[in-house]
Amino acid sequence: MSTKESKNPFDSYVKNLELCAEKLKLDPGIVKRLKYPRRILIVSCPVKMDNGEIEVFTGYRVQFNEARGPYKGGIRYHPNVNLDEVKALAAWMTIKTAVIDIPYGGAKGGITCNPLKMSPGEIERMTRRYAFMIKDFIGPYIDVPAPDVYTSGREMAWIMDTYSMAVGHKVPEVVTGKPLEIGGSLGRESSTGRGLAICTREACKKLNIDIKNATFAVQGYGNVGIWGAQILASWGAKMIAASDSKGGVYDSKGIDPKKLLEHKEKTDKVQGYPGAKSITNEELLTTKCDILLPCALENQITGENAARISCKIIGEGANGPTTPDADEILYKNNILLLPDVLANSGGVLGSYFEWLQNLQRDTWTEEDFNKKLLDKMVKAFNGVYDMSQKYKVNLRTGAYMIAVKRITDATEKLGLFP
């Protein structure tokens, strides 16, 4: 095990990129272009706080690659948001949109702040200031933001409204993940968790695991983890552990995802759930189960704890929860890891569906939405799995190989100007 494992998420992206480029024998010049973002925006967002004082927040928007279509990526609010993280997330989004094969490039945004210690008014003023600062660089055919960590339809509504006021007319297609009342889509809220559940079920088929007898654990009981858990449970799988930022719970007899959500909504944490034992996040990661779903933040499974992971399938609901060193250990231990660029791509796929409806001023039923999502996710999973089998690599490398080939093909066709 390496003692110098990099925890910089962008280094993880570059390492995976170089690995698949070597396998595919790609043009070094094209690969070099994929190591650099097209544009980096860093903005200062002055905000009048409720106490009358002025606070200045730093906001980012990294537009990584647009060879296959408009930039696409979420906006997160978190104290640990920094440029390297946003660069990595933008790069991963570029890969993700190519893996799922939709006509988007990749971008990401964020503001370094602690929204849990801010009032709704302060968050709104910060959001609108940030939106106004980046308005000239986003748009329906330029860059389409979406929610991410600690943002939701509420923030997307404010961004849409701010942008629309700036251009003089309503533009619902400038963001996705909006409330239904202003152009959001049925099915969008659950799309990331649903895509994760679909990939997990397809993986179970490959390993001859009966989903009705499978056990699973969820690290990060937020939107993705909650929906993923509920959908897996509806197919018969049993959740035995779950956690959030304050700790976790374990019960070998099973935990009802909906009842756990009700408990979390009442108490603001999963710990204290009746009949369940309290555990730490680290203990959850090493819980013996069939399926482990890391749905929290980056760098959760590392070279330091990967050997203790005791499951058959890992589905990355979060972005970048597994480091490259851990990838190697898990692969050697015959653990099938569903990489983030595949497993949580249901979110950007759902955003694409919302964007299409907005552009066409159309509305789909939730049934139609979910059917289209199922078809796309199953096709993407099988493509990645087949690629990994053909080249005898893990699924992450297989996914990167598919994505990078699609991106480089588009880049070569476009040429280099001037």
Intervals of the chain under pLDDT 70 = 1-6
Catalytic residue among 108, 178, 264, 376: 108
Q: What are phi and psi of 329, to 5 degrees?
A: -65, -45
- What pLDDT was estimated at residue 15? 87
Domain count, the chain: 2
For the stretch 374-414, pLDDT in tens is 999 999 999 999 999 999 999 999 999 999 999 999 999 99
Q: Tell which residue, 245, 232, 318, 229, has the closest CA to residue 280.
A: 245
One domain, residues 153 and 294: no
Alpha-carbon distance of 410 to 114, in angstroms, equals: 39
If asked whether residues 169 and 221 sit together in one domain, one would say no
40 plus 93 within the same structural domain: yes
Tokens of 118: 């801010």
For residues 282 and 206, membership in a common domain is answered with yes
Q: Are residues 294 and 164 in the same domain?
A: no
Last residue of a domain, one of 319, 343, 367: 343
Q: Are residues 43 and 103 in the same domain?
A: yes
Domain co-membership, 260 together with 148: no
CATH no. for residue 91? Answer: 3.40.50.10860
219-267 confidence digits (pLDDT tens): 999 999 999 999 999 999 999 999 998 999 999 999 999 999 999 999 9
Rounded Cα gap, residues 228 and 239, in angstroms: 11
Predicted local confidence at residue 1, as pLDDT: 40
The last residue of one of the domains, among 177, 206, 223, is: 177
> What's the pLDDT at 243?
95
Residues of the domain holding 286: 191-343
Measured on CA atoms in the order 340, 342, 347, 351, is the torsion positive or negative? positive
* Residue 235's CATH number: 3.40.50.720
Between CA 17 and CA 91 the distance in angstroms is: 10
Asked if residue 227 is part of any domain, the answer here is yes
Residues 166 and 34 grouped into a single domain: yes
Q: List CB contacts of 200: < 8 A, sequence separation 6 or more.
A: 216, 228, 232, 291, 293, 313, 315, 338, 343
Look at residue 358 and tell me if it is in a domain.
no
What's the CA gap between 295 and 270, in Å, rounded? 15
Same domain, 216 and 239: yes
Tens of pLDDT along 310-331?
999 999 999 889 988 999 999 9
**Do 227 and 134 fall into the same domain?**
no
pLDDT at 9: 81
Q: Are residues 100 and 200 in the same domain?
A: no
- Provide the CA 379 distance to its chain's centre, in angstroms: 19
Catalytic status, residue 108:
yes
